[in-house]
């Protein structure tokens, strides 16, 4: 894959840090080498730099080029695969970790003065009774943890008042979650890591890893010798196929952004300025940007196909929820791949004692990447409790080509789409 610049997204057009980093040339050495400059890699680099380690990040394209810089910008707590992890860690530990990603991000935005439009407020919305039952259970779980004051259950009328649509039967607001400009967050964390001595190399493709007590990460024009390595390439890398192939599959997710909306329209459709996500298996998500555009995304494509027109694909979905946006100009449309794991639990573990990996957040990655990054950093420092819990999860590997794997997953998702269409 040739090196590329950022996609033509709203985020790339409004980024506030246009710093570029040099290509890796020649031989270098460091304590920790991180492959991948998205949230996982950058967040782990910053943690390790804060702990006094020398760090190098190698990114094939630009910092936050992939899903970390293209996503819906929804800051949602959780780990992914909690039920699997609870068998090893217990629910008390899971509950302790659930909001850790949110906390890390909020702390760093404040500590490093990262301008990324961070705002609290997130609403899950239900189309049917069974989804409302799930929300009621989630609400009670939070109450049991002493977090109930941060959540508000909404009936149909309350959702209509909050979102200006009759599409939903109810919902729940969680003010511990929120939304942000993801590319600006990742770039800000990268800048903070550089300020602590981290070196970043962009436009540098990693071609392989030589294992040993000191691992050597090779690129097309140089190498990095490191005591420890993290593979954080998510949906785009093809490293260590013997360990990792057939486990993560790229799925396309797409977003459109309108022109800035009028104050009257904003007051009607989202006066609380919350991020919104429905509870379907094949879901939609949306929110207002800082300059009051509607950013509407979702309808994940599991087959690997990219629609001929993202706008034509997504606009009918948006107008079904908000017909009053008919005629609003669509100024940006973009997509990208997210790493899907069949069990919807991130792949976190070790290829070797000193070579770690973390990927496959299945479309729920802004906060969980930061949890995973800290899990890896802790393991690099000798605390492997959570890492080992992830390693004990038995993942399903789909043999054959990546294309074949995507078709199998797409076929399986037809079942879940049928569940979405069920009225119960």
SS (H, E, C) the chain: CCCCCCCCCHHHHCCCCCCCCCCCCEEEEEEEEEECCCHHHHHHHHHHHHCCCCEEEECCCCCCCCHHHCCCCEECCCCCCHHHHHHHHCHHHHHHHHCHHHHHHHHHHHHCCCCCCCEEEEEEEECCHHHHHHHHHHHHHHHHCCCHHHEEEEEHHHHHHHHCCCCCCEEEEEEEEEECCHHHHHHHHHHHHHHCCCEEECCCCEEEEECCCCEEEEECCEEEEEEEEEECCCCCCCCCHHHHCCCCEEEEEEEEEECCCCHHHHHHHCCCCCEEEECCCCCEEEEECCCCCEEEEEEEECCCCCCCCHHHHHHHHHHHHCHHHCCCCEEEEEEEEEEECCCCCCEEEEEECCEEEEECCCCCCHHHHHHHHHHHHHHHCCCCHHHHHHHCCCCCCCCCCHHHHHHHHHHHHHHHHHHHHCCC
On the question of pLDDT at 405 being above 60, the answer is no
pLDDT at 188: 98
Nearest 5 degrees, angle CA 391-CA 397-CA 399?
A: 150
Q: Supply 97's token pair.
A: 């970790």
47 pLDDT above the threshold of 80: yes
Asked whether 199 and 130 are in contact (CB, 8 A), the reply is no
Please tell me the predicted confidence (pLDDT) of residue 337: 80
Q: Given this model, what pLDDT does residue 79 score?
A: 85
The arithmetic mean of pLDDT across residues 190-194, rounded, is 98
pLDDT tens-digit profile of 343-388? Answer: 778 899 999 999 999 998 887 889 999 999 999 999 999 999 999 9
| Domains recognised in the chain with CATH numbers | 10-71+183-246+342-393 (3.50.50.60), 119-179+249-340+399-424 (3.30.9.10)
Pairing of strands 55-58, 275-278: unpaired
pLDDT in tens, 106-161: 999 999 999 999 999 999 999 999 999 999 999 999 999 999 999 999 999 999 99
Contact 282, 301 (CB under 8 A): no
Provide the pLDDT for residue 365.
Answer: 86
- At 237, the pLDDT band (50, 70, 90 cuts) reads low
Model confidence band, residue 101 (pLDDT cutoffs 50, 70, 90) = very high
Token pair for residue 128? 């049917």
**Across the chain, what does the average pLDDT equal?**
90
Output 356 or 237, whichever has higher pLDDT.
356
Q: Which two tokens stand for residue 220?
A: 């097309």
Confidence of residue 399 (pLDDT cuts 50, 70, 90): low
Q: Are 1 and 284 in contact (CB under 8 A)?
A: no
Any idea which of 12-26, 74-88, 172-186, 392-406 has the lowest mean pLDDT? Answer: 392-406
| 319 neighbors 325 (Cβ within 8 angstroms) | yes
Ramachandran quadrant class, 52 (left: phi over 0; alpha: psi -120 to 50; beta: rest): left
Alpha carbons within 13 A on the beta-carbon side of 256: 21
Query: Is pLDDT above 50 for 415?
Result: no
Predicted confidence (pLDDT) at residue 40 exceeds the cutoff of 60:
yes
- pLDDT for residue 416: 46
Share of the chain above pLDDT 70, in %: 91
Contacts of 217 (CB under 8 A, 6+ apart): 33, 35, 58, 206, 209, 223, 224, 225, 226, 229
The gap between the terminal CA atoms of the chain, to the nearest Å, is 45
pLDDT at 280: 87
Which class for 95: exposed (0-12), middle (13-18), buried (19 or more C-beta within 10 A)?
Answer: middle
| Residue whose C-alpha is closest to residue 64's, from 180, 189, 178 | 189
The confidence score (pLDDT) of residue 109 equals 98
Higher per-residue pLDDT: 323 or 248? 323
Measured on CA atoms in the order 369, 393, 389, 81, is the torsion positive or negative?
positive
pLDDT, mean of residues 215-238: 90
């Amino acid at each position: 894959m040739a090196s590329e610049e950022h996609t033509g997204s709203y985020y790339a057009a409004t980024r506030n840090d246009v710093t570029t980093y040099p290509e890796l040339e020649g031989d270098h050495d460091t304590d920790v080498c991180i492959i991948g400059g998205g949230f996982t890699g950058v967040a782990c680099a910053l943690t390790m730099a804060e702990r006094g380690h020398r760090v190098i990040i190698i990114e094939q394209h630009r910092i936050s080029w992939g899903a970390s810089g293209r996503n819906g910008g929804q800051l949602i707590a959780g780990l992914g695969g909690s039920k699997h992890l609870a068998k090893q860690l217990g629910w008390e530990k899971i509950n302790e970790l659930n909001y850790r990603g949110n906390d890390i991000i909020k702390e760093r935005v404040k500590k490093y003065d990262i301008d990324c439009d961070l705002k609290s407020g997130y609403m899950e919305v239900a189309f049917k009774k069974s989804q409302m039952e799930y929300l009621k259970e989630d609400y009670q779980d939070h109450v049991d943890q002493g977090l109930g004051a941060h959540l508000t259950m909404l009936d149909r009328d309350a959702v209509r008042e909050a979102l200006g649509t009759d599409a939903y039967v109810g919902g729940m607001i969680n003010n511990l979650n929120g939304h942000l400009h993801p590319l600006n967050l990742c770039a800000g964390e990268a800048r903070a890591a550089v300020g602590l001595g981290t070196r970043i190399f962009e436009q540098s493709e990693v071609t392989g890893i030589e294992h040993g007590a000191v691992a050597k990460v090779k690129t097309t024009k140089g190498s990095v010798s490191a005591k420890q390595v993290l593979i954080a390439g998510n949906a785009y890398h093809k490293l260590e196929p013997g360990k990792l192939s057939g486990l993560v599959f790229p799925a396309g997710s797409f977003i459109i952004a309108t022109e800035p909306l009028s104050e009257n329209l904003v007051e009607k459709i989202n006066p609380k300025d919350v991020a919104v996500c429905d509870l379907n298996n094949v879901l939609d998500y949306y929110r207002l940007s800082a300059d009051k555009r509607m950013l509407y995304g979702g309808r994940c494509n599991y087959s690997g196909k990219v629609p001929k027109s993202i706008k034509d694909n997504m606009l009918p979905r948006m107008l079904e929820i908000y017909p009053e946006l008919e005629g609003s100009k669509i100024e940006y449309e973009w997509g990208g791949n997210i790493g899907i794991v069949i069990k919807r639990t991130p792949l976190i573990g070790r290829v070797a004692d000193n070579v770690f990996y973390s990927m496959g957040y299945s479309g729920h990655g802004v906060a969980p990447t930061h949890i995973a990054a800290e899990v890896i950093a802790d393991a690099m420092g000798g605390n492997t409790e959570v890492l080992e819990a992830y390693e004990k999860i038995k993942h399903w590997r789909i043999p054959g080509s990546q294309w074949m794997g995507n078709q199998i997953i797409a076929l399986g998702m037809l079942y879940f789409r049928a569940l979405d269409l069920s009225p119960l």
